[in-house]
Amino acid sequence: MNGNFINFLIAAIVAYCFLLYVYPYLRRLMRGSGVIYIEPKTLEEHMAKKKDMLLIDLRTPSEFYNMFGHIDGAINLPFKEFMIRINETADRLAGFKETPIVLIGLRDENSVFKAYQALKQKGFSDVCILNYGISRWLRQGLPTVERNVRKV
């Protein structure tokens, strides 16, 4: 084999590993250490205990209803609509600022982090992000509902 090809192959593997493993970790570090994440299994345990919480799924309606389904009890509020509503209605939600809120995205998107920051800035005290979103929830074999069904 050609030495240049082997060097290229090694560089490609290193770049792939960096993008797959290191970059997401560095991106989380840049966001700040104060961000709270909840693991899917922990969320499932809280749900099984019927703990009072609000699950907000920030994915698009097509992702919420078609792609993977959604977590039972989650409300669909796409990110753009969420940002408009939080700015308009945060003051009217003063009585709910102590209610635990879990934000759900597809993976580890910046939009979920921005929604987290917006809630914290508006005075919501108990906010967390589903760690790696619905994709990790599904990889761990946890259930979703309403796949391919939209309520009218």
What is the residue-wise DSSP string for 33-90? TT--EE-HHHHHHHHHTT---EEEE-S-HHIIIIIS-B-TT-EE--HHHHHHHHHHHG
How far apart, in whole angstroms, are the C-alpha atoms of residue 50 and residue 66? 26
Amino acid, res. 10: I
Radius of gyration of the chain (CA): 19
Alpha carbon 11 to its chain's center: 32
Count CB neighbours of 124 within 10 A: 20
Q: Whole-model pTM above 0.85? A: no
Instruction: From first to last of the 152 residues of the chain, give the pLDDT tens digit.
Output: 577 888 888 888 888 877 776 666 666 666 666 789 999 999 999 999 988 899 999 999 988 987 678 999 999 999 999 999 888 876 777 677 888 999 999 877 789 999 999 999 888 989 999 998 999 999 999 999 865 555 54
Are residues 134 and 103 in contact, defined by beta-carbon separation less than 8 angstroms? no
State which CATH number among 3.30.710.10, 3.30.470.10, 3.40.50.800, 3.40.250.10 fits the domain covering 34-139.
Answer: 3.40.250.10
Q: Which of 81, 92, 79, 144 minimizes the C-alpha distance to 123?
A: 92
pLDDT (0 to 100) of residue 14: 83
Query: Domain extents for the chain?
Result: 1-32, 34-139
Instruction: Give me 69's structure tokens.
Output: 């389904």
How far apart, in whole angstroms, are the C-alpha atoms of residue 110 and residue 150? 27
